[in-house]
Amino acid sequence: MAPLPNADAYPKVSRLRDGTAVEIRPLQDGDKIRLAHFFERIPESERYYLKENVTSPEVIAHWTNNIDFDRVVPLVAISNDQIVADATLHRSRAPARRHVGELRVVVDPEFRELGLGRRLIRELLDIASEMGLNKATFELVAQRETAAIMAAESVGFQVVATLKGRIRDMWGNYQDLVMMELPLQEHESWWRF
């Protein structure tokens, strides 16, 4: 398995806007129960739009048992021995697509709007840049994942395409999928933005 670049830097302690300290570190194989409990605390109305069935024990077990940084870099934030945020960087194995990394991030509702989501996005962008990636992307649902769209914009992501009606929402209505991108050449611009 490829090592995580800058693995020695973790765990890191991050102080949130309200003064709470959380620990940021890569997901570990012993995190299965913590990760399952974390996703149980995410409202169904938000889980519905995520790309995977995060309440399936098989999905969670697959993630924690098969950590492979070459394919997915998973970071978590920990408070009181609980996972309070999960952020991942996904890469294709195909050579034609390996220069692009897709980000996903979910924060516990109790820990939102304190800067944690943005901090994790920035951490993953640092890792993507260290890995030599060229571009980071987000695929988000317009009108349904607006907080994530705002969080991505807050570090410099821009909307590059909108796929009309690509998503069917919980009520059977069609919503747009927003593709966002950030070039990684301008090292650490995401910390300044």
- In the complex, which residues of this chain contact ligand COA (CB under 6 A)? 46, 104-107, 112-118, 140, 145, 147-148, 150-151, 154
* Strand locations in the chain (E): 12-15, 21-26, 72-79, 82-91, 100-107, 135-141, 158-168, 174-183
Closer CB to ligand COA, 7 or 163, in the complex: 163
Cβ at position 95, least distance to ligand COA in Å = 25
- At 139, the amino acid letter reads E
- Let me know: does 101 contact 180? Beta carbons within 8 Å: no
Cβ at position 106, least distance to ligand COA in Å = 4
Cβ at position 8, least distance to ligand COA in Å = 25
Cβ at position 87, least distance to ligand COA in Å = 8
Closer CB to ligand COA, 91 or 118, in the complex: 118
- Taking only Cα atoms into account, the Rg of the chain, rounded to an integer number of angstroms, comes to 16
Closer CB to ligand COA, 3 or 163, in the complex: 163
Residue nearest to ligand COA (CB): 117
- Let me know: does 14 contact 21? Beta carbons within 8 Å: yes
Cβ at position 137, least distance to ligand COA in Å = 11
CB atoms within 10 A of CB 35: 21
Q: What whole-number distance in Å separates Cα of residue 96 and Cα of residue 105? A: 25
DSSP string, 91-126: E-SSTTTTTEEEEEEEE-GGGTTSSHHHHHHHHHHH
Closer CB to ligand COA, 107 or 184, in the complex: 107
Cβ-Cβ contacts under 8 Å for 171 (sequence gap 6 or more): none
Closer CB to ligand COA, 75 or 116, in the complex: 116
